[in-house]
Amino acid sequence: MKAVIFARVSSRDQEDGHSLDAQIQCCYEYAIKKNFKVIEQFKIVESSTATGRPEFSKMVNFVKGQKDKIIVLCYGVDRLQRDFDEQYIELQRLIKQGRIEIHYAKSEFIEHKDMDSSDKFRKNLDVLLANDYRNKISDNVKRSARKKLADGTILGDSPLGYLNSKRMDKKKEKVNVYIDPLRGSLVKKMFEDYATGMYSMNEIRLRITEEGLRSKKGCQIGKSQVEQILQNPFYYGYMKYNDILYKHVHPALISKELYDECQLVRQGKRKSKSKRTQKPFVLKGLLKCHHCGCGYSPELKKEKYVYMRPTKSKGDCSYCHHLSEEKILIQIEDVLKGIKIPDNILAELNTELKKSSAAEYEHQIQESNKLQTQYQTIQTRIKRARELFLDAQVSKEEYDEMITGLQAERHNVEVRLQRLTEADDGFNKSLSTIFALASKAHDLFKSSELEEKRRIITILFPNLEMNAGKLMFTTRKPFDVFLNMPHRPKWLPGQDLNL
């Protein structure tokens, strides 16, 4: 009988007993013993909970395409999908149809359509144990991450400008990070140049590339990498993990003041020293070619005419042309004219938006009170630490360590409070914009300033593309229901607005 082998490891560093080669060898020995003919093998190097699972799907589709019954050979149940996702359920359907059997080489257990209750119990127990094993591994990883963060040591590889020292025994030796003698000074120069406000991120990239900065793999760095570097707090002494800052023990490359200067420039809160001014554009970053997928960049001609220029980043494309921004906006306005929502549905929409606003407001109040309590507790502890130092009950080193930790905690609470306020403002603004769009989309767009026009476009259209001058688009729910179709079914409250 024909068979396929499926092998999986969660990382390249698993011990030999669970390596791909060991699993495949065991499965081949089992196939020889059972007189199976192996016609294909599938190997995965990833976590069993990783999304996508293209190789796993490929294996399922392969066995589905076989005309005759086929054997799926696997080292153990923990090597197969541990959760009952769609692809695993499809395998179960094939078993019930008698089209496949799953043989586990390690235990020699066979999963087939005629299993009795004891076999099913054993199989379910194996799955339960596999899930428990996965959860324990996940807990261990999280526990290890928390320990490293508490110790101030880095998780994973260091950013550009730093190097990780080599360790003979990774389990026993701590991670040591030091400033890269070749790249460190160049990365620092990126911060210093950007803080002047005279250079865009792309200009920083070009300048630093000319001076010889390359990635750790020897490649030129891209604009997105420049942005990541300039926003990474690691360079001034803090690590960001799940948006929370943790002080690390590794050497700082720049000062906190220099980092803050760069953030002000990036956010446009500090006037540039450059004589050039950057004009905002409605369609910047929102438009792509329908055929090749390249983006369009705005260009100002004669100080008043805006044209969208294809970047040709995907190569030459005969459908990409310079286009007038005004003509594209006219096409967008024509689409907005077609959004017609009956008054009775507008009333229902208004009611639902008010309910959503009330629920969100209650949640914001609860979270804000909790964070304010945390903030006051930290302030009290900071005051107490100062009193202990002034009373000579703690040393200067102990005081500095206490204050540094408390200030980091206070910073994190301040960040969360700020985000809560921004989320509240953003939510309420979204609700009012949605209702206004539903009632008078075209009029609102025509009368809005540039930034509000961009906001309206992003709310209504997840994708805007140009097809040789013609606008192609998709519309978000629920607006798509009422686009040029006044007789479409009624919109039901509670539908996802996909914002």
Task: Answer yes or no: is pLDDT of 424 > 60.
Answer: no
What pLDDT is recorded for position 457? 84
Among 54-63, 96-105, 163-172, 252-261, the least confident range: 163-172
pLDDT higher at 200 or 127: 200
User: Which pair of tokens denotes residue 312?
Assistant: 């040709």
With respect to CATH, is domain 162-266 assigned 3.90.1750.20? yes
Task: Answer yes or no: is pLDDT of 489 > 70.
Answer: no
Task: Give the angle subtended at the CA of 459 by the CAs of 456 and 465, to the nearest 5°.
Answer: 90
The segment(s) of the chain belonging to CATH 3.40.50.1390 are: 2-138
pLDDT higher at 341 or 36: 36
Q: Which of 71, 138, 133 is nearest to 98 (CA)?
A: 71
The segment(s) of the chain belonging to CATH 3.90.1750.20 are: 162-266
pLDDT in tens, 201-235: 888 888 888 888 998 888 888 888 999 999 999 99
Facing residues of 73 across strands? 5, 103
Q: Average pLDDT in the 395-401 region?
A: 84
284: number of Cβ within 10 Å = 17
Q: Average pLDDT in the 438-463 region?
A: 78
Task: Answer yes or no: is pLDDT of 493 > 50.
Answer: no
What pLDDT is recorded for position 450? 83
CATH T-level topology, domain 2-138: Rossmann fold (3.40.50)
Task: Answer yes or no: is pLDDT of 412 > 70.
Answer: yes
The mean of the pLDDT values for the chain is 78
- Tell me the C-alpha distance between 240 and 177, whole Å: 16
pLDDT in tens, 84-142: 466 778 888 999 999 999 999 888 889 999 988 877 777 776 766 666 666 666 677 77
What pLDDT is recorded for position 273? 44
What pLDDT is recorded for position 417? 77
Q: Average pLDDT in the 62-71 region?
A: 93
Percent of the chain residues topping a pLDDT of 90: 20
Size of the chain, expressed as the number of residues it contains? 499
pLDDT higher at 345 or 488: 345
pTM over cut 0.75: no
What pLDDT is recorded for position 485? 43
